[in-house]
Amino acid sequence: MCWLRDGAAAAPTAIFIDGFGEPATMTNGPDAERETKSRTDDEYDVAVVGGGVAGLSASTFTARDGLSTLVLDAGESILRRNAHLENFPGFPAGVNARLLLEMLGDQAETAGADRQTATVETVETSDTDEPSESDGHGFVVETVDGQRYRSQYVIAATKNITDYLDGIEGVGIVDRGKSYVDTDERGRTGVDGLYAAGRLAEKPHQAIVCAGHGAEVAVTLLEDADRGFYHDWVAPEGYFSDRDREVPPGCEEIDAAEREQREAASLDAMSEYFAEPHPDEQETHPSLREESE
């Protein structure tokens, strides 16, 4: 389900830019002008490898700031094995973890991100290949099916899977029985433009921590891309402008009518999400699955 696409809500936040790394034209408001950036279907500002909690959270932030964002996900978030998620803030009675992943995915799409179910086989810096038409640098991401995407930035969020990064010089892999990517405190790896988020970046094995880290890494990327002071905030009308302040990049002021419309849409959407038990079966550890087959 994607509630925005079903027409149940309108929260226009997808924005586009003229070129990589340039400040976005703010189009967060409903009346805002939209600019489209010419690019081919397989060229993105940001490729997110892994669409579990960290990757989906990161993609929501990069897409909401107007970076064209693609999430490539093999569909095996370890959170799918959870029996009932009781410590993710915002759900006082807990939540079905498969439902939460679905909602995170829908939120990323609503923000403007594209999603593909695919396993990434390699990520390489594009100077080992033909230069990108956009700016001559970045990455080439290739899936096991042979689909190739170019992006200026890559956020890796694949928990303990690192083999697809083997072709890039400068990525530190930490082996502690499981593999992790060595990063600084903001998720930067040793390679410019390549970030790691969530468990892969050695964050604690909790969904909210990994989701929060995905958001932090995305904001770090936006800062590194020099896209201006950035808070992704929706504020009441006049909050900045009545104090003779510019509405800062990433922020939006909405009036009371717009706020009521968005709240009504959110009530409808949430009622739909929670109307029935989620249809996906709870998954278990692969070794137990094999035993029971």
Ligand X SMILES: Cc1cc2nc3c(=O)[nH]c(=O)nc-3n(C[C@H](O)[C@H](O)[C@H](O)COP(=O)(O)OP(=O)(O)OC[C@H]3O[C@@H](n4cnc5c(N)ncnc54)[C@H](O)[C@@H]3O)c2cc1C
Query: What is the contact surface with ligand X in residues (CB under 6 A)?
Result: 49-55, 72-79, 81-82, 85, 87, 119-120, 157-159, 161, 164, 198-200, 205-208, 210
Closest distance between ligand X and the C-beta of residue 197, in Å?
7
Q: Is 89 left (phi over 0), alpha (psi -120 to 50) or beta?
A: beta
**Nearest to ligand X of 36, 87 (CB atom):** 87
Nearer to ligand X, 210 or 269 (CB): 210
Judged by beta carbon, residue 119 or residue 261, the one nearer ligand X is: 119
Q: Cβ closer to ligand X: 55 or 187?
A: 55
Gyration radius (Cα) of the chain, Å: 19
Closest CA to 164 of 179, 142, 135, 183: 142
Position with the least CB separation from ligand X: 52
Closest CA to 78 of 186, 216, 205, 189: 205
As measured in angstroms, the least distance from the Cβ of 157 to ligand X is 5
Q: What's the min distance (Å) between Cβ of 237 and ligand X?
A: 36
For ligand X, the closer CB: 11 or 100: 100
Residue 126 CB, shortest distance to ligand X, in Å, is: 19
What is the smallest separation between the CB atom of 218 and ligand X, expressed in angstroms? 13
Indicate the residue among 186 and 262 with the shorter CB distance to ligand X: 186
Residue 234 Cβ vs ligand X, minimum distance, rounded to whole Å: 25
Cβ–Cβ contacts within 10 Å for residue 207, how many? 24
Minimum distance of ligand X from residue 158's CB (angstroms):
4
Looking at the Cβ atoms of 88 and 239, the one nearer to ligand X is 88
Instruction: For the CB of residue 65, give the shortest distance to ligand X in the complex, in Å.
Output: 20
User: Is-contact 197 220, C-beta < 8 A?
Assistant: no
Closer of 27 and 162 to ligand X (Cβ): 162
